Chain A
Amino acid sequence: MAEIQSYTMNFGPQHPAAHGVLRLVLEIEGETIQKADPHVGLLHRATEKLAESKPFNQSIGYMDRLDYVSMMCNEHGYVMAIEKLLGLEVPTRAQYIRVMFDEMTRVLNHLMWLGAHGLDIGAMTMFLYCFREREDLMDCYEAVSGTRMHATYYRPGGVYRDLPETMPKYAESRFRSKKELDGMNSVREGSMLDFIEDFTVRFPACVDEYETLLTDNRIWKQRTVNIAVVSPERAMQLGFTGPMLRGSGVEWDLRKKQPYEVYDQMDFDIPVGVNGDCYDRYLVRVEEMRQSNRIMKQCIDWLRDNPGPVIADDHKIAPPTRVEMKDDMESLIHHFKLFTEGYCVPEGEAYAAIEHPKGEFGVYIVSDGANKPYRVKIRAPGFAHLSAMSEMVEGHMLADVVAVIGTQDIVFGEVDR
C-alpha cells in the first residue's frame, strides 16, 4: 500500500472563519491536524509605540481599536494604569458607570462571539439573533459617547460625561408605518437608564432563546463536546485567563479576586466549567451574559438614586467645564495646557489588569515623569490563548480548527496590537 505522507496546508489570512487575519499553517495527515503554526501580525499597528509618542490622553482612542468588539474594557485597563500612577481617586458615580459599561461591553462581546462561533460551526440563526440585541447596546454606546464603537468615553479620573437624559429615537421613514415606529420608539421615551433597564428585563429571555437553539442541540454538541480539552494545570501553565481558564474549572475572576472599581459591592456569581472543552466554555460564556445582566441591573438602581460628579475635580488631569471657562481665567489656562501639552505623570511603573470579556487585559505603563508614557505594554488575553492553538487542535480534524478559533474568541485587533 502506498504510504500516506502528511502535508502542509495554508488556512487564511483571507478566510471567513479565520476571524480577521489569522494565517494558520497546518500540518495535516489525512484530515487530522498534527501541528498548527499561527502566523499573526498582519494587523500589527504598533499601538504601544504610537502611545509612546503621544500625551497620555491621546492614546485612549487607540485602546478602543485593540479589541474592537469590547471597546470600553480596553479603555478601562489603560485609564486605570494612569490613575494608579497618578494616585487619582475616581468619583463613585463614575465607578458605577464604568462597571455598568464594562458589563454592557461584556454582553456585546459575548454576543458577537456567540454569533460568530455559531456561524462558524453551522448555526446561522444565532448570528442574526445576537446582532439584534447588540444593536440596542450599540445605541447606548452612541447615546453616551456619540459613536457606536470607538467611544473614548473613559478618561483618567472618571468618564467623559454623565449619562444622557434622553435616548435618540428612530426617525420616520417610508419603510415603516406609524404604528411600527411607535413600537420601536416606545422603549426610548425615557432616559438612557430607562432604556438599559428595559433591556435588562428583556435580555434573560433572549439568552433563553439562544440556549433553546444551542445548548441541547445535537449538532452543536457534536461539534463542541470533547473538542480541545484543556486541563486546569495546562490552562494555567499556558497563561489562559478569563472564560478559557474558567472553562477548565479554575475559579478565577479578577472582579471577585482582585476587585477594582465597585465590583466588591456587586452581587454576582462566577460560572465555572468542568471538562474544559469547547462546550463548557460555551456554557461559561452564556452564563456570564446572565450575570452581567444582573450587575447592570444593580448599577442602574444605584445610579438612579445617586447623582454626583462623574470625573475627578482635578483640572490638571480632567478639563474644566465649558461654563467655567467662560469667565474664569485659570480654567481657560488649565484647558489650554491640558489639550496642548497634557499632564505629566510621576515617575514609576504600574500594571493595571481588568477582567476583560476575553480574559485578563493588562496595561503596563512605565513613566519617566514626562507628559507621554515611556513604555506601554498591552497584555492581550487573546495573544496567550492563540499561542496555545497548536496544542489545542493537535489530533483533531480540520473542521475542529474552526471550532477552536471560535472558542478562543480571537480578535486580531488585540492579538496583533
Chain B
Amino acid sequence: MNKNNPAGSVLVIGGGITGMQSAIDLAESGFYVYLVEETSAIGGKMAQLDKTFPTNDCAM
C-alpha cells in the first residue's frame, strides 16, 4: 500500500455486531467497505440471544 495514496476501502472480517458497527461507521464517513462473514447471514452471536441485559431489550 502506498502510504501517500491509500485505497479508500476497508476490509472488515466478521459480520457480528462489532463488524457491522465498524462497517456502518466507515461507510457513513466515505469509505468503501467489504464486510466478510463466513456464514450465510450477518448478525453473529448476538442474533442467538433472546434478550440483552440490563434493559431486557430484545437482542434481535
Q: Do A and B come from one complex?
A: no
Chain A interface residues toward B at CB < 8 A = none
Q: Which residues of B contact A (CB under 8 A)?
A: none
